[in-house]
Amino acid sequence: MNKKTAAASSKQTRELRIVMNDQSKNFVPNPHCSIALVEVMPDWVPPLLYYKMVDALRGYSKGMARLMTDNLIAFLSGGGRFLTGIQHVDEQLLQLYSEIYDYAREHGYKLESLF
């Protein structure tokens, strides 16, 4: 391996490394949204799935966290999958919708009106 190849390989290795810079304590989920979710959470939803929903709200503005919460509540209520038109937010919501739906179906539960 010549010097150019070795230098390029070393640079590529540095570029591809993953460095954890944990910011989770600086961006906590919106407490009002967490409470709103727990108040309407069906008994059959396992704690891990609830925590995934709450954790998904980290780092978003209050308005976006509220919109995502309202969308999750609507889905849990059988109202369908609401999207925001913002691709990365919608991808996150669709993943949660899928996990909720799959769990409900596998365990014989239905998404229906909570009110």
- The pTM score is 0.80
How far apart CA 45 and CA 9 sit, in angstroms, is 48
**Does residue 3 register a pLDDT over 90?**
no
- pLDDT score at 115: 47
pLDDT digits (tens, 9 = 90+) for 53-77: 999 999 999 999 999 999 999 999 9
Spatial separation of the C-alpha atoms in residues 95 and 29, rounded to whole Å: 18
Average pLDDT, the chain: 89
Domains identified in the chain, total number: 1
Residue range of the domain that includes 82: 28-106
